[in-house]
Amino acid sequence: MTQDHPKLEQAIRLLADLVAYPSVSCDGNRAITEHIARLLDAADARYWTQSDATGTKLNLFASIGPEVPGGVILSGHTDVVPVLDQPWSSDPFTLRIEDGRLYGRGSCDMKGFVAACLAMAPDFAHRSLCVPLHFAFTYDEEIGCFGAQALTAELAARGFQPAAAIIGEPTMMQLVDGHKGCFEYTTWITGREGHGSAPDLGVNAVEYAVKVTSKLLELREALKTMAAPDCPFDPPHSTINPGVLTGGQAHNIIPGRARIDWEMRPVQASDADFVKEQLADYIAQDLLPQMQRIDPEAGITTEVIAEVAGLERRTRNTARDLVMELTGANGTGLVPFGTEAGLFQGIGIPSVICGPGDIAQAHKPDEFLARDQLNQCLIFLDRLGARLEARGLD
């Protein structure tokens, strides 16, 4: 049995404080981020924040150690998914400890990792680190990684180039170096309303939404034939999922508006380009001429909700090598869910995922983080601090 880390009880108290902030994405994360900033300030961290346009959401980027290039980013998001209509056994925003489990919204995904980082921050500050440790805590990961998109753009603009990034999403402290991208879209169809008894005089938006959806399903089948024989993902091809189709008002009214919410999980960027080009050509060459013969104002537009790049496996990866050394792992894994790791990789920072908890618990009622997982994370971070003090990343 693994011995408890000296900071474990402190990390649990910090996690209780973090869970108490109901930082659901739609409500903002400013209060929890300002709380984290105060804790890091007390640990002598240098930090700056970045707000969204509403001022209700903040990214925080902090550094401990020498002001030199490079270093390691520890990254996590502070927003959580809603609890509305979920049958929780207790208050989701009050940490409940029972049978070695820490129950609360976000305890697993992913305030446990943030709490571990905060518990270790004073220890990092007291070490003579050869390179800095950075903390990147973001907003809106759960609804499109918007915070990380803004943060990585700012880091790139500043010419900031750490040597590695570790994203602490729940992987049971296993090393992960790859996942598919997550691209989300809403396609709007505008037709012409009319009486259901005269369908030829209107432009039925639901009918054209069905045609767009059928095209997406056709492209989904095409993607299956494009998978590389050695692709390690399951399934090994890019996927498309039409998630929501809505439109219309009544049985006897030709619907004038319809909407399709759909997503794509590309293995590689070329698959995403293929889908977008094929769909755009089909709409422009086939559907729009049919619609606009009846009503020139009819149209179809696709709104990009989020295009979050996947995490690609790389032959050379400083973050992977570092985490393998610290954990003793002799291999790496893949996950089916999306993270912010691809965004850090996209600005040239080698990135991996490694964090406490089981993703199977995320987003569910009675979400929990096992106490032992939090302990393992603290041990990992302790080893990281010792490694960066002993010889940096050489």
Residue 3 within any structural domain of the chain: no
Domain residues for the domain of 329 are 8-179+311-391
Residue 325 within any structural domain of the chain: yes
Residue 394's pLDDT band (cuts 50, 70, 90): confident
Alpha carbon distance 133, 121 (integer Å):
9
| 171 and 33 assigned to the same domain | yes
Domain boundary among 257, 281, 308: 308
- Domain containing residue 349: CATH number: 3.40.630.10
Residue 252 within any structural domain of the chain: yes
Residue 263 within any structural domain of the chain: yes
Q: Is the pLDDT of residue 336 over 90?
A: no
Domain boundary among 276, 308, 340: 308
Q: Of 109, 140, 141, 169, which one is the catalytic site residue?
A: 141
Alpha carbon distance 208, 279 (integer Å):
13
pLDDT per position as a tens digit, 119-171:
999 999 999 999 999 999 999 999 999 999 999 999 999 999 999 999 999 99
Residue 24 within any structural domain of the chain: yes
| 187 and 83 assigned to the same domain | no
pLDDT per position as a tens digit, 273-300:
999 999 999 999 999 999 999 999 999 9
| 18 and 69 assigned to the same domain | yes
| 220 and 287 assigned to the same domain | yes
Q: Is the pLDDT of residue 358 over 90?
A: yes
Choose between 35 and 336: higher pLDDT.
35
Residue 328's pLDDT band (cuts 50, 70, 90): very high
Residue 2 within any structural domain of the chain: no
| 26 and 152 assigned to the same domain | yes
- Res 335: pLDDT: 92
| 257 and 186 assigned to the same domain | yes
Structure token pair of residue 273: 């380009």
Alpha carbon distance 258, 208 (integer Å):
8
Residue 1 within any structural domain of the chain: no
| 296 and 167 assigned to the same domain | no
> Among this protein's residues, is 141 annotated catalytic?
yes
| 235 and 264 assigned to the same domain | yes
Q: What is the mean pLDDT of the chain?
A: 96
- Domain containing residue 283: CATH number: 3.30.70.360
| 187 and 321 assigned to the same domain | no
CB atoms within 10 A of CB 363: 17
Domain boundary among 251, 275, 308: 308
Q: Of 4, 17, 41, 79, which one is the catalytic site residue?
A: 79
The count of structural domains within the chain is 2
Could you tell me the pTM of the whole model?
0.89
Alpha carbon distance 65, 366 (integer Å):
38
Q: Is the pLDDT of residue 337 over 80?
A: yes
> Among this protein's residues, is 193 annotated catalytic?
no
Q: Is the pLDDT of residue 180 over 90?
A: yes
pLDDT per position as a tens digit, 62-110:
999 999 999 999 999 999 999 999 999 999 999 999 999 999 999 999 9
pLDDT per position as a tens digit, 181-220:
999 999 999 999 999 999 999 999 999 999 999 999 999 9
| 244 and 329 assigned to the same domain | no
| 276 and 359 assigned to the same domain | no
| 19 and 43 assigned to the same domain | yes
Name, in order, each residue with C-beta under 8 angstroms of 279's C-beta and a sequence gap of 6 or more: 212, 215, 216, 219, 302
Q: Decide: 259 and 189 in contact? Cβ < 8 Å.
A: yes
- Res 1: pLDDT: 64
